[in-house]
């Protein structure tokens, strides 16, 4: 080895990344110190063998062996193109390491391909960082008990839906659901049973929504569902079906079978709504269902049996006044009965 070769090899050996050369037959001709450190294989174990001998057993995130299908090094030897990819190599001790790989062709003075160089870096810290970012995102947007969207996620999604309504006219409905007499469940059977009831309700609701709808836990025993592409008739149908399905669900415990019901408030989102205004309106109609006897749906616009909206006839919700007053002209009960009703002007005094 010439002094010049020794100089350049010294530079390569000082690199943190792994570097190795192969000839046109894919036989390894050089293996630097970085490659030794990352893989656990000494230069003497790697130099002279063919990379097709599958020393590092590279696989992609689907478990496909790259040395047998889609090897970037073999492809570069054929067409001379630079390639980059992420893969998982097998360390000498047997465990898998995520690595970032870059392959470049080696050419002689005439431009002919005489080999290739592969550099690879340990991606473990990046993978751990990405995993932690994903965990943090989940923690910030997902309710830890139910695994559903949390209040922050609901607010973000509703903000987007209101923006879509303003921009494109895409209709959107909102359901506010509250488990009836949930405090009695907790006080009688304990919070562990209460948590199981919450999970049962959450799963019943989420399992019976469409893929593009969103269900979230808004707090305590309250849930909010954002229903896209609906009119008032469809929204009422959704709400009443969910109410009925919860009523027909149960949790078997050591204390026996526990059943609960939900009171529901339903409203169509309006272009002038803020997130807070839409949620408050749906919440107030839910409270209207509580006042009316629980286990029912209150909705803010009346429609005929054929689904024809009667807004033009004056049947619509009153405006929010003084940060929380609302007048609802109608209430849909579980059997479909329509009754005029008015929400209280003062704070709520009844148990939910």
Nearest to 278 by CA among 140, 107, 128, 163: 163
Q: Going along the chain, which residue ranges are E strands?
A: 18-23, 28-31, 83-90, 96-107, 113-122, 172-179, 214-219, 222-228, 251-253, 256-258, 262-268, 297-299
Residue 230 backbone phi and psi in degrees, to 5: -135, 155
**Active site (annotated) includes residue 222:** no
89 φ, ψ (degrees, to nearest 5): -100, 160
For residues 295 and 262, the answer to whether their CB atoms sit within 8 Å is yes
CA dist 307 and 301 (Å) reads 11
In the set 36, 86, 164, 221, the catalytic residue is 221
User: Can you tell me whether residue 11 is helix, strand or coil?
Assistant: helix
Q: Which residues contact 28 (CB under 8 A, 6 or more apart)?
A: 20, 21, 22, 46, 47, 48, 49, 50, 51
Distance between CA 182 and CA 217 in Å, rounded?
Answer: 14
Rounded to whole angstroms, the Cα distance separating 109 from 216 reads 65
Residue 321 per-residue DSSP state: B
Judge residue 3's burial from the number of C-beta atoms within 10 Å of its C-beta, 0-12 exposed, 13-18 middle, 19 or more buried.
exposed
Angle at 325 between CA 324 and CA 326, to 5 degrees: 120
Hey, which residues are catalytic here? 221
């Amino acid at each position: 080895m010439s002094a010049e070769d020794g100089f350049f090899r010294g530079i390569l050996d000082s690199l943190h990344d792994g570097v190795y050369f192969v000839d046109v037959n894919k036989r390894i001709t050089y293996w630097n110190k970085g490659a030794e450190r990352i893989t656990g294989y000494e230069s003497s174990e790697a130099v002279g063998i063919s990379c097709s001998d599958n020393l590092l057993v590279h696989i992609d995130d689907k478990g496909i062996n790259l040395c047998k299908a889609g090897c970037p090094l073999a492809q570069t030897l054929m067409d001379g193109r630079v390639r980059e990819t992420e893969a998982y190599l097998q360390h000498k001790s047997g465990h898998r390491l995520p690595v970032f790989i870059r392959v470049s062709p080696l050419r002689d003075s005439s431009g002919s391909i005489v080999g290739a160089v592969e550099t690879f870096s340990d991606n473990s810290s990046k993978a751990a960082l990405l995993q932690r970012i994903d965990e943090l995102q989940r923690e910030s947007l997902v309710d830890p008990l139910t695994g559903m969207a949390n209040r922050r996620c609901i607010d973000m999604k509703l903000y987007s839906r209101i923006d879509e309504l303003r921009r494109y006219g895409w209709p959107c409905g909102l359901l506010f659901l509250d488990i009836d007499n949930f405090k009695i469940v907790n006080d009688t059977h304990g919070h562990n049973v209460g948590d199981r009831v919450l999970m049962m309700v959450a799963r019943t609701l989420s399992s019976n929504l469409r893929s593009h709808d969103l269900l979230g836990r808004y707090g305590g025993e309250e849930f909010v569902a954002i229903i896209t592409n609906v009119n008032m008739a469809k929204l009422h149908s959704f709400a009443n079906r969910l109410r009925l399905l919860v009523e027909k669900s149960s949790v078997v415990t050591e204390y026996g079978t526990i059943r609960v019901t939900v009171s529901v408030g339903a409203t169509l989102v309006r272009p002038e709504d803020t997130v807070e205004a839409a949620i408050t309106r749906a919440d107030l109609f839910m409270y209207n269902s509580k006042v009316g006897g629980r286990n029912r749906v209150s909705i803010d616009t009346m429609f005929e049996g054929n689904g024809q909206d009667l807004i033009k006839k004056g049947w619509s919700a009153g405006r929010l006044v003084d940060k929380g007053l609302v007048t609802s002209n109608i209430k849909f009960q579980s059997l479909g009965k329509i009754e005029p009703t008015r929400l209280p002007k003062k704070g709520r005094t009844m148990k939910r």
